[in-house]
Structure 1
Amino acid sequence: MELKLKINSKNTFPKGGIFIKSTSAEVWLHEIQNIGLTLDSIKVFPIPGVRANELFGCLIVFNQNKSKIADIGKNNFYQLAENKLFIPENTLVTPELTEEEWHKLFSEEYHFLHPEIGLVELKEEVNWLDLLHLPNLKQIEITEPSKTVLIPQFITSMRIEVDQEKILEGIENPVSEEEMIEKLPFNMKKLLNGNNREMDKFLAYLEKNPEMAMKLAIPLDTLGTGRGGNGGSFSFNTGIGGLFNFSWIHRFLANLSSGDSSTGFFRYGFVLLFVVLARSCKGSELKSSLPSILVFIGIVIFVIFMISLWAGSQSGSSGSSGGGAFLIDSNRFSTLQSRYEKLAEDYIAREQFEKASHIYLKLLKNNHKAASALENGKLYREAGAVYLKYLQNKTKAAECYEKGHAYKEAIGLYKELNEDEKVGDLYAILNNKSEADKYFNKVIENYKTNFQYLKASLVYKNKIGDITNAQELLLEGWKTNKDAGKCLNNYFANCKSAEELSTAITNIYTSEVSSVNAPVFLHLLKHEFTKHDELEEMIRNIAYEIAAERINGSPEIASELVHFNKNNKSLLKDVMKYKLKVKNKG
C-alpha cells in the first residue's frame, strides 16, 4: 500500500511534534531553548536524510497537555495521527486507513512521513550526553571574606551628639583676637577706664562701622556701668572741676593706707604736721591759735589735692590737666545700648542668628534674648546650650535639644525633670523599645496611683501598643467610677468589629451595670447605636430594659428612648403625653 500526503485546509489530527530542519545538533539545542522547552520534558528523534550517514533534521515530541507552545520560530508543527504517524500541518494521509490497518501497518514505534524523504521509523532518541562535551572543571580554592558590618537599607532614627562647650564657644567668641584689623581711632585702655572723650570717639566709630562691635566686644557693664543711668563710674581727667567731686578724698585715704613707697613721704609728713598742730592747741591757746590752724588746714587740703593729681597721673588714667572721678552720663550709655540693640536686630533681619545671639549674650548681657534669637532661628542645639548654662532653664533646654535631634542631652535633662513620658518618647524615636517601655510603665503606674485610668490606658494603647491592658484599665475605671463615662466610651471605641462591640456591650450590661451607673450606660448607648446597623435592635432592647426599670422613679428617662427611635414620630408624642401626665399627678 502506498501512503501519500494530501494538502488540507485544516489539521485532522492534534499537534504532537515540532520539526527542526538542520543537520547540526547544536542548532537543534539552540532552537529548543528558543522555543522554551526543557530537555527533561520532551523527546528528540534524529531524522535521517536520503543519503547514508546524513541527517535531515530532528523531531521534537512533546505532551500537549503539559507544554503550552506559542512561538516555534521558523520550525514546523507536525500532526500525530492515531499516536503512530507524524505528518506535516494542514495535510492528511491517503488512502484513509481503518483502525485495524493502522495497527497492522505500523509498529509500536513512532513514524515520520515527509514529502522529501518519505516514511521513517523513529527508533532511537538523541542521547545528549554523547553529544555534549562538558568543560573540564577547574579546582579552585574559595577564600571567604570575614563578616562585614551590616549596612542598613533604611534610616529608622537619627540623633546628634552635642558638645555644649564647643557650641557656646562659637557664640561667645565668634571673632578671634587676630582678626582685629585696622588701627583704632581711639585709646582702648582709656575707653575701658571710662574716659568720656574716648567713649565719644568709640560711638562715632561704631556709627560708621557697626559690625566692629562684634570684634571689639565691649559690653555695657564694663567697669560697673550696669544697665544705664548713673550706676557706675569711670575714672578720667576733668580739670579743676573734679575737685568738687569728693571721691578724690577716698582715693587719697586709700593711698595713705597702702604700702606703696611712692606715697610714704607724704604719709609720714602728714602725720608729723598733725602731731605738731595738736601739741600747739592746748587749753587757752586754742583761741589765739585759730588763724594758724585755718592756714594749716588750707595747706593740708592743697597738699592732698596735689597728691591726688599726682596719683591719678601715675595710674595711667590722667589726661592733659588735673584729675578726679566722674560718673558716666545716661545719654552716652543709652546711645551705646541702642547701637548694640540695632545691630542685633539687623543680624536677625539678615537671619544671622548666631551673631545676634553674641550681641545679646556678651555685649547687652541679655541672656534670655540671646537664647530666644537662636531658638527663633531654629538653631536649637545652640539655644539649648544657652538656656542651660546662662539661664539654668532645664525645661527649655530639653525642648530645644529635642527639636535639634540631640536626643541624648534631651533625655538626660528630662530624666532630671522626672518627665518619664518624654524620656519614653525619645527612646521610642531611637528604636530602643525596652527602655521606652520601661519609662512608659512608670507613667502608667503614676496614673494608676492617682486613679487616672483613662490617661494610663492611652499610654498603653498609643505608646506601648498593648490594647489588652488598655482595655483592662478602662474597665477598671468604669467599675470604680473614676471618670467612668469617658473610660467606658473609650472602651467601646477600641472595639474594631460589630461582633466585638456586641460582646462588650452585652457583658458589661450583664455584670457591670448597677442602679448607680445605669443612666451613664444608657447615655453611652446612644453613641454606639448608630455605628453598626446589625446591632441596633440589640442596643434598643437594652435601652428599653433600663428605661423600664427606672421610669417610675425618674420619668424624664422616657425622653432617652427617642434617640433609639428617631423615625418613630408617634413615640415622641407618647413620651410628651406621659411626662405631662406625670407632671399633672404631681
Structure 2
Amino acid sequence: MQLTLRPTSAAQRPACAAFLRGTDAGAWLREIGRWGLPAEQLSCYLVPESIRSVRPAGLLVVAPDGAPLPADVLEPYGVEAGRLYVPTHATIWPATAPEELRAALLWPRQLWHPALGLVGFEEADALDLTALLSYPPPRPTDWGRALPGRPLRPALQRLQVEAPSAEQVMQTMQQQVATESLSALPPRADEPGPGLPLLAGLRRGLLRAGLAVVSWLQRPGRGPRPGAGPSLWRPLLNFALAVGGVILGMGLLIWLVSAFADGGSGAGSVAALLLIALLIRLLMLMADARQARSDAPAPAPQYGGGGNGGGSGAGTGVLGRLGRWLGASLEGLEKKRNAEIERLLRLFGDNVDEALRYAIPLGGAYQNRGTAPASDTLGPRNTTFSLSGLGGGRRVDGWDVDAYEQDLRRQYLAAAEREVQAGRYQKAAYIHAHLLADYHRAAQVLEQGGFFREAAALYKDHLHNRPAAAQCLERGGLLLEAAELFAELKQHERAGDLYQRLDQPRLAARHYERSVEHLLAADDHAEAGRLLQHKLRDADRARAVLLQGWAADRQPETCLRRYFTDLIATTPEADPSAHVRRIYQQHTPAPRRVPLLQVLAHINEQHPDAALLATSRELAYEVVGAEAAAGRTTHLGLLKTFLPDDRLIGADVSRYTTARQRRPSEASPTASLQAPQLDASISWRHAVGHRQQWVAVGLRDGRLHLARGNWYGHVEYYSWTTPVPDNELVPLLLSDELHSSRILLRVSVPGLAFDAKLLPQNKYFPQSLRVECPAWLPAWPTRVALLPDDELATLHFHDGLLQLQPYSAEGQLRPARTYELPNADARAHAAERPGWPCEMLYRQGSFFTYADQWLLRLLPDGSCHAQELQGSVLHLVASPFAATLRLGAVAEEGLVVWTPDAAGSEVEEYCPEEFPNISDLQFVGPQHVVAFQLNTKEYDLPSYLYQFTPEPDGPTLLRTIEEEAVAVLPTLDRQRFAVLTMQGQVTLHTLAGA
C-alpha cells in the first residue's frame, strides 16, 4: 500500500516538533532560543538533502511531552503512531490505523517531509546543540588593565501604585453626600425661631446653675460656725444674692427669647449669648468651689419638706419654692427631649432616610470627647460611613435614651437590613458602626459590598483582628498588603502563596522555608514534606523529612504514604520496590511493620506495579506470618490485597481466623475498645466527640496542637505554627455531629490566625472532619451555633433585644433576626456571660440557649420563650441518646432536664442540698450524665456520675470519678464513657454496676 500526504487548511494534530530549514546553525539557535524551552530537553536531528547527499537541508527539533511550541513556528510538525513526524496541516491518505502504521515504521523516529521524503533516525543520531558552537583561538591580549566600569543598578523588586488611605477614601465619599438643615423638616408648634436649639441649651444650663446655687444655700453647713455668735445679715445676703442672680438670668433669658422669636440675629444677640454663657459658667464654678471646701458632702436637696426661708431647713420657704420651680423647669426640658426622641421614632415610619440623619448613636467604644450644651432638638448627621469619624474628638450633647433604646435599636437594625438589600452597603455600615457601635458587622457589610480596603481597616485598627484584615485584603485582590500582613502573623505559607501569585519567587521561597522551619519545630513532618515537595520543588529534602516523620509518632503512615506517592509521581524511572526493601530493612522497627504493610496496600491500589506488588507480597508473608505465630490474627486480611488473583485467600483467612478465636460467649462485645495515652508533653485543654471519633486540643511550647483518635487506639497528631500565649489562651472545640462535619476552634485571645485543618477519611476514620477557626466570626465570647450545610449563626444581647445573625459556610451575611425577651425580669437580667462563650444549639428550626437564670428558645416565627430557673445557668448540652429532643443544663443550684416540643417545653429542675462545684455536663447514656468542672488549670477537680430516675428526689449520684477532667466523651459502647485529663490520659468507665 502506498501512502501520500495531502495538505489541509486546518491543523490535523497538535504541534510537538518543528523543521528549521537552511544550513545556518546560528539561525537555528536563535529560533530555538526564542521558544523559551530548556535546551537539554529538546531532541534535535540533522536532516540530509537526499539519500545521496549528506549535506544538511535543515534541523528537526522535537519538544518534550506537554511543552507548547509558539504559534508562529514556520513549519510545525505533529506525531502519528508515536514515531512518525508529519506536518500539522497535512493528512495521510488513505487513512491508516495507528497499529498498522506503527508496524510499517523501521526507525525509532522518522520524518516525513513533503519535499525531502521519508527520513529515519536512530537514538544515537540525536544532535547535541553545543556541537553547533565554535570557539575562536584566544587572542594574545593583556586584560589586566581592564576597568570594572559602572556597577549595575539594583534589580526592580516592586512596583506599587500609591493608594489613598482609608480616611481619604471615606472623606471623598462623604463629600458626595448632600446634607440638609434641620429647618427643612416640618417644624413643631413650639418651634418659633431658628435659634431655639441654642437657646434651649443655654436655658437648661442656666437652670442647672441656679438649682446648684439654691442647693448650696440650703445646706445645713451654711449656718454659724461653732463658737461664732448669731448672724442675721448672712441669711439675708445669701437670699438676696440668689434671688438677684435668678432674676437677672431670667430677665436676660426673656429678652433673648423675644429677640430670637422676632428673627433677631445681630451683634447684640451674639453678645447676650456670650454674657449668659459666662454667667452660667461663673455660677457653676462658685458652686463647685464652695462644695469642695466643705468638710462633709451636702445632702441632695429635697423640695417639698418642711423648713424656713432662711435656709436652715429643707425649704418650704422662698428658697425651697425657688428650687422646686427650677427642678420643674428642668423636668420640662427633659420631657421635650423625650418628645423629640418620639418624633424621631415616628419619622422612621414616614421617611427612614431622613430619620437616619437625626438618629442618636447608642454608645460604643469611640464616643466623642466632652459635653456640648444640652438641647431639646436633634441635629442632622451625615449618613455615609466614615472611618475618620469613628475616633470622635468632638463634644456632643448626651441624650438619655434608656426608655427608648430597644425601639431605636430595632429601627436601626431594620434600616441597616433595608440598606443591605438595596445594595447601599456604605449606608448600612454607617448604621452599624456609628449608630449601633457594631464595628464587626460594619466591616462585614463593607466587605460584602466590595469595599475591601475600608473593611480591612476596620478589622485591623478598630477590632484588632489582623487575620480577618489579611483575608479581606486577599479576597479584594490587594495581594501585596495581604502578604505583608500574613507574614506579620507568622502564616508564612500563605504569604509565600501570595508572593508566588505576584511573580516574586525569591520572596515566596523565603517564606516557604520559614514555614518549613516552624513545621519541623512542631514535629509536623507530613506538612513540611508537602511544602518541600510541591512548593519548594526539593524532592530529596522532602523524602528525607518524610522518612523522619515515618520514624516519629505523629503521623507515620501519612508520611510514608506521601513518600511513595511523591516518589512515583516525580521520579518515574525510580524502582519503588528497591525503596520498599531499603525502608523495611533500615527504617522500620518491629512495631512499625504492620503499618508498613497497610501503606503498601494503599500504594499498590493507587499505583499498580508488578515489581512493587511482588516485593510487597514477600514482606506480607514475612510480617503476617510472624504476627499469626504470635497469636495476632487481626492482620491476616492484608494478604488479600497482595494476592489479587487468589479467589480462595479470603475464605482461607476467615476459616483460619475463626478456628483460632474464642467462642463468642467468652468474648466481651466491647473488648476491642482501647483508651490511648496522648502525648504527655502537651497540656490538653478540651475535646469533643464526633460519631466514631474524637478530637482534642492542647498547648505546648507556645503552639496549639490537635489530636484525632478513634476507640480502637489509633491517634493522629496535627499542629499549628501560630505562636500563642500558653498562660492566657483558652481553646474550646465546638461540634454538632447532627448537622455538620465542621468543628470550630474558639480561642479566648483575639487576633490569632489558625489555618483550617482537614482531617481526611481513611481506614481508621470513616468520615473526614474540618477543624477551623474562622477569622470573620465575632470575637470571643460571642455564642455560636452550628447549622446544617456548614452554616453558622451568632447571637448578641442588647438590653433585652437578641440579634441572631446567620452566616453562610464561607462567612457571607444572611438576613438577621431580632428577638425580644418576653417579660421585664428577663430583659433586666439577661445578658452575656462575661468572659465565656455560652452554648447555643440549633434543633428543629429553633435555637436553644440561656442567659443568667433564663432558658431561652428562639422560634422561627420571631418569638422568644423564656423559662426562669432558681439559679444562673452555667452549661447547656443536648443528649445524643434520646429519640426526641432532650437538653441538660447545669445551674448554680443543681441539674436541669429540658424537654422542648411543639406544644411547649417541660423543665425539671433538681436542686439537692449539697451540690458540688461543677460547670459542665455531658450525657453518657440515655439516663446518665457526668457533671464536672472544666479543668483549664492544674486543679484536682473530680467528676460526678448521675442517673436520672423517676423518683421525686431527682438524679441519683452513682459515683465520684477522681480524674480531673478536661472532657467527657461518649464511646461506641453505650455502657461505657471516657474521661480525658490534662496530662493526656484517657480512661474508660462503665455505667453498669455503678
In structure 1, the residue corresponding to 2:629 is in which secondary structure? Answer: coil
The counterpart of 2:618, out of the listed 527, 533, 541, is 541
1:454-494 deviation digits (Å, cap 9, x = unpaired)? 01111112322222211111011113344211110111111
Q: More deviation in 181-190 or 541-550? A: 181-190
- Tell me how far 1:64 sits from its aligned partner: 13
Pairs within 5 Å for 1:264-283: none
Count how many residue pairs are aligned between Structure 1 and Structure 2.
368
Q: Distance in 1 between matches of 2:521 and 2:374?
A: 71
| Structure 2 counterparts to residues 216-227 of structure 1, below 5 A | none
Aligned equivalent of 1:298? 317
1:472-530 Cα shifts (integer Å, max 9, x gaps): 11011113344211110111111223743223222212322231211111111211233
Give, in angstroms, the shift of residue 338 of structure 1.
4.2
Alpha-carbon distance between aligned partners in 2 of 1:373 and 1:170, rounded to the nearest angstrom: 19
Aligned equivalent of 1:393, options 454, 465, 471: 465
The offset of 1:162, in angstroms, is 5.6
- Please, which runs of 5 or more residues in structure 1 have no aligned partner? 1-37, 39-62, 69-155, 196-233, 238-242, 269-288, 320-324
The amino acid across from 1:453 in the alignment is H
Find the counterpart in structure 1 of residue 529 from structure 2.
457
Partner residue of 2:167 out of 149, 165, 174: 165
Give the letter for the 1:576 counterpart.
S
SS in 2 for 1:464: coil
Could you say which structure has the greater relative contact order, defined with CA pairs below 8 angstroms and 6 or more residues apart? 1
Deviation at 1:316, TM superposition (A): 8.7
Task: Tell me whether 1:346 sits opposite 2:415 in the alignment.
Answer: no
Query: Quick check: 1:512 aligned with 2:587?
Result: yes
| 3-state secondary structure, aligned to 2:420 | helix
Q: 1:353 Cα shift?
A: 1.0
Q: 2:469, 2:627 → 1: CA distance?
A: 57
Match of 2:596 in 1: 521
- 1:533 deviates by 4.0
Residue 417 (structure 1) shift: 2.4
How has the CA–CA distance of structure 1 residues 190 and 416 changed in structure 2, closer, same or farther, with 3 Å as cutoff? Answer: farther
SS in 2 for 1:443: helix
Partner of 1:249: 211
Is contact 2:309-2:318 (8 Å) kept? no
Q: Which moved more, 1:454-463 or 1:300-309?
A: 300-309
Judge conservation of contact 2:597–2:616 (CA < 8 Å) in 1.
no
CA contact (8 A) 1:159 1:407 kept: no
Indicate how the Cα distance of structure 1 residues 567 and 295 shifts in structure 2: closer, same or farther if over 3 A, else same.
closer
Inter-partner Cα distance in structure 2 for 1:296 and 1:519 = 97
Mapped to 1, the partners of 2:284 and 2:539 lie a distance apart of 92
Equivalent residue runs for 1:535-574 within 5 Å = 535=611, 536-556=613-633, 557-574=635-652
Contact 1:168 1:385 in 2 (8 A): no
| Contact kept in structure 1, 2:550 and 2:557, CA below 8 Å | yes
**Matching residue of 2:551:** 479
Give the distance between the partners of 1:316 and 1:582, measured in 2 at CA.
93
> Matched residues in 2 for 1:528 and 1:302: separation?
98
Does 326-335 or 451-460 show the bigger shift? 326-335
Alignment partners' CA distance in 1, 2:436 and 2:632: 73
More helix by proportion, 1 or 2?
A: 1
CA distance in 2, matches of 1:236, 1:265: 14
1:448 to 520, 524, 529: 520
Maintained 8 Å contact 1:158/1:430: no
The 2-side partners of 1:248 and 1:511 are apart by 96
**1:533-571 deviation digits (Å, cap 9, x = unpaired):** 423223222222223344311441433212222432333
Aligned residue in 2 for 1:428: 500
Taking a change above 3 Å as real, the CA distance of residues 477 and 184 of structure 1, as seen in their structure-2 partners, is same
- Given that 1:248 and 1:308 are in contact with CA atoms closer than 8 Å, whether structure 2 keeps it comes out as no
SS in 2 for 1:502: helix
Shift in CA distance, 168/266, structure 1 to aligned 2, threshold 3 Å:
closer
Which residue does the alignment assign to 2:186? 185
- Tell me the secondary structure at the aligned position of residue 591 of structure 2: coil
Q: 1:164 to 1:306 in 2, by over 3 A?
A: same
What is the SS of the residue equivalent to 2:426? helix
Q: CA deviation at 1:263?
A: 9.2
Is this contact kept in 2: 1:474–1:488, CA < 8 A?
yes
* DSSP-derived class of the 1:517 partner: helix
With over 3 angstroms needed to count, the CA separation of the structure-2 counterparts of 1:577 and 1:408, relative to structure 1, is closer
1:265–1:431 CA distance, 2 compared to 1 (3 A): closer
How many Å separate the matches in 1 of 2:421 and 2:519? Answer: 46
- Go from structure 1 to structure 2 and tell me whether the alpha carbon gap of 1:392 and 1:250 turns closer, same or farther (over 3 Å shift): farther
Deviations 1:202-244 (A, max 9, x none): xxxxxxxxxxxxxxxxxxxxxxxxxxxxxxxx9988xxxxx9x
Write the mapping of 1:102-141 to structure 2, written as runs, cut at 5 A: none
Aligned-residue RMSD, C-alpha: 5.1
- What is aligned with 2:708? none
Structure 2 SS opposite 1:567: coil
Contact 1:158 1:405 in 2 (8 A): no
Distance 1:443 1:263 in 2: 64
Q: Is the 8 A contact 2:308 2:315 kept in 1?
A: no
The residue identity in structure 1 corresponding to 2:319 is V
Runs of 5+ consecutive residues of structure 2 not aligned to the other structure:
1-21, 23-49, 58-157, 218-241, 246-275, 287-306, 334-372, 378-396, 667-994
1:362 aligns to 2:434 (yes or no): yes
Letter in 2 for 1:403: R
Name the CA shift for 1:436/1:377 in 2 (closer, same or farther; >3 Å).
Answer: same
Question: Does the CA contact (< 8 Å) of 1:160 and 1:407 recur in 2?
Answer: no
Aligned CA distance change for structure 1 residues 250 and 413 (closer, same or farther; 3 Å): farther
Whether the 8 Å contact between 1:252 and 1:304 is mirrored in structure 2 is yes
Counterpart Cα distance in 1 of 2:614 and 2:281: 110
Please give the alpha-carbon distance, in whole angstroms, between the structure 2 residues aligned to 1:189 and 1:354. Answer: 32
Aligned to 1:492: 564
CA change 1:371–1:263 in 2 (3 A) is closer
For the 8 Å contact 1:555–1:579, the answer to whether it is kept is: no
Query: Does the 8 A contact of 1:190 with 1:317 survive in 2?
Result: no
Matches of 1:456 and 1:366, distance apart in 2: 40
CA distance in 2, matches of 1:294, 1:577: 108
Letter in 1 for 2:166: Q
C-alpha distance in structure 1 between counterparts of 2:216 and 2:647, whole Å: 103
Matched, 1:413 2:488: no
Provide the rounded CA distance (Å) in 2 between the counterparts of 1:192 and 1:332. 21
Assess, with a 3 A threshold, how the Cα gap between structure 1 residues 397 and 310 changes in structure 2: closer, same or farther: same
User: 2:314 touches 2:320 (CA, 8 Å); kept in 1?
Assistant: no
Structure 1 pair 175/364, CA: closer, same or farther in 2 (3 Å)? farther
Q: Shift of the alpha carbon at 1:158? A: 9.3
Q: How far does the alpha carbon of each residue in 1:127-169 deviate from its partner, in whole angstroms, 9 at most, with x for none?
A: xxxxxxxxxxxxxxxxxxxxxxxxxxxxx99998462222343
Give the distance between the partners of 1:483 and 1:265, measured in 2 at CA.
Answer: 79
